[in-house]
Amino acid sequence: MTNTLDRRTLLRVAGVSAGTAVLAGAALTGPARAADGAFRHGVASGDPLPDGVLLWTRLTPTEEAQPGSGRGPDVDVAWQVSADPDFSTVAAQGALVTGADRDHTVKVAVTGLAPATTYWFRFGHGGGWSPTGRTMTAPPVDAEIDRLRLGVVSCSNWEAGFFAAYRHLAERGDLNLVVHLGDYLYEYGTGEFDAGGTVVRRVSPAHETLTLADYRIRHALYKTDPDLQALHAAVPWVITWDDHEVANDQWSGGAENHTPATEGVFADRVAAARRAYAEWMPVRTGADGAIYRRLRFGRLAELSMLDLRTYRSQQASGVAVDDPRRTITGDAQMAWLKAGLTSSDARWKLVGNPVMMSRLDVGALPAWLLGPLGALLGVPQNGAVLNTDQWDGYNADRNELVDHLRAAGTRDVVFLTGDIHTSWANEVTTRATGSTNPAAAEFVVPSVTSDNVNDFLNLPAGNALSLLGAGLVRSTNPHVRWTELDGHGYGVLEVTRDRCRMDWYHLADRTRAASASRWVAGWSVGAGSSRLRRESAPTS
């Protein structure tokens, strides 16, 4: 039996205007600035379920208990979840102990909550309370939902600028969820990857992250950013990792940015990075540490989050990219993904995809464009035509997935992608099928701050070369309907029964904390079709 959310429930949840059944966000009350005192790293929530959500904070009980120090006492931390921002109606509460063994982080998997409901939450210690966060549970799995809005982000590099993109998303007040597609942080030492050669703000530790203490300190630094704190406190996040949470161009047995002779056993580095990630991020992991997972939002949408680093074969080039023995997903994750997409009865099957799925033929591009694209996309300087770090380097896996979707007649699949710092609207095809019958749509969001084409060219955004380059990419790749190679910012995905629409917003200046943003493009895909359509600017 269908469980339909009635209009009164939706109005109570989200403050919806009359006549529109929309699952949308309520305005956040409480501080939207960096926290100080015991809860100086803010609060966060993630992975909402119909009856619960994951809550997170980090406590600094004494000054010696600094992140990564391994010092400080075990302490009690209280938590509360309320149906109102003043906590007059507490829906759930409890307490737990944290200490140096988990870097004084706190994660609570709250259950027993009502579905499709906005809640406020906080943590307590020593008679004081943390900043207040706002979160929302998911609708019942069979609920009829008319609309879902997601903020979509990727590639937030501390030294390359400020996280104004997060501020703009936090200020919207209409989001149900933020999807972060990886490179939440970067492992490099100071000056190794910045804003086109300029360090906007220095990382800590100053050296490349290698140890558990290093990764803990780097996570802690990121969570002092006031705009990151504001967005974490405003809306639940669903997150996956890409490579820089460990090391650049990571694969299952190593990484481009790891030298065993001087940096130790790679497995030890991965274990340190993954432990710190599990401590510091509001994300659920499986018993074996697996992060690929699926969340459902009524009958409207199901979101499958991928892990494309843990199980992948080492990057290769030439004919090796077609080798069916090589994989980007691993066999178990591929089977899980195919089964989930084809069996889902949700209208839209969204895929949180850390690296670009669509083909990219760069063989006809000029050398001046291949230089910066090579730096961004991993194109080797010997003239190879594929970015072997994304799905282009694992053709057999892409063909298997696309062929499976076609054979099963599965439609309404949309890949949400990050990694390459630039903005794209793609129709997913294979070389065998050409561009006439795409199997899915793909929306690629730009970086929050990380360098892109104009930064590598040392030119202003929107320069003639970048515009020419975008045109050349489209002319040699007809399934690429639109691309913009310079902007930094974020995407907003609106999901309705009839269409999925992505709008791209770019910052005026990533090096300014107060940077404005502007709408630059909108593209949509209609239900039952994988062909993209250009949209005009939103009216609200």
- The pLDDT score that the predictor gives to residue 524 is 98
Contact 43, 55 (CB under 8 A): yes
Report the run of H or E that residue 219 belongs to, with start and end.
helix 212-222
- The pLDDT score that the predictor gives to residue 243 is 98
Neighbours of 142 (CB within 10 A): 14
The DSSP output letter for 281 is S
Phi, psi of 56 (to 5 degrees): -140, 145
Residue 79: strand, helix, or coil: strand
Tokens describing residue 71: 């010092």
- The pLDDT score that the predictor gives to residue 417 is 98
Ranges of each domain in the chain: 7-535
- The pLDDT score that the predictor gives to residue 360 is 85
Residue ranges with strand state E in 102-217: 105-110, 118-125, 128-129, 133-136, 147-153, 177-180
Neighbours of 253 (CB within 10 A): 11
Closest CA to 52 of 19, 25, 14, 92: 92
What is the distance between the alpha carbons of residues 166 and 186, in angstroms, rounded to a whole number?
Answer: 17
Classify each residue of 83-92 as buried b or exposed e, where b means 16 or more C-beta atoms within 10 Å of its C-beta: bebebeeebb
For 358-384, how does the pLDDT look when each residue is reduced to its tens digit (9 = 90+)? 988 766 565 556 667 666 655 433 334
Per residue of the chain (540 residues), give pLDDT as tens: 333 333 222 222 333 222 223 343 443 434 334 446 899 999 999 999 999 999 999 999 999 999 999 999 999 999 999 999 999 999 999 999 999 999 999 999 999 999 999 999 999 999 999 999 999 999 999 999 999 999 999 999 999 999 999 999 999 999 999 999 999 999 999 999 999 899 999 999 999 999 999 999 999 999 999 999 999 999 999 999 999 999 999 999 999 999 999 999 999 999 999 999 999 999 999 888 999 999 999 999 999 999 999 999 999 988 888 899 999 999 999 999 999 999 999 999 999 999 999 988 766 565 556 667 666 655 433 334 457 899 999 999 999 999 999 999 999 999 999 999 999 999 998 777 666 789 999 999 999 999 998 888 888 888 888 888 888 889 888 999 999 999 999 999 999 999 999 999 999 999 999 999 999 999 999 999 989 999 999 986
CATH code linked to domain 7-535:
3.60.21.70
What is the distance between the alpha carbons of residues 366 and 417, in angstroms, rounded to a whole number?
Answer: 26
For 452-473, how does the pLDDT look when each residue is reduced to its tens digit (9 = 90+)? 988 888 888 888 888 888 888 8
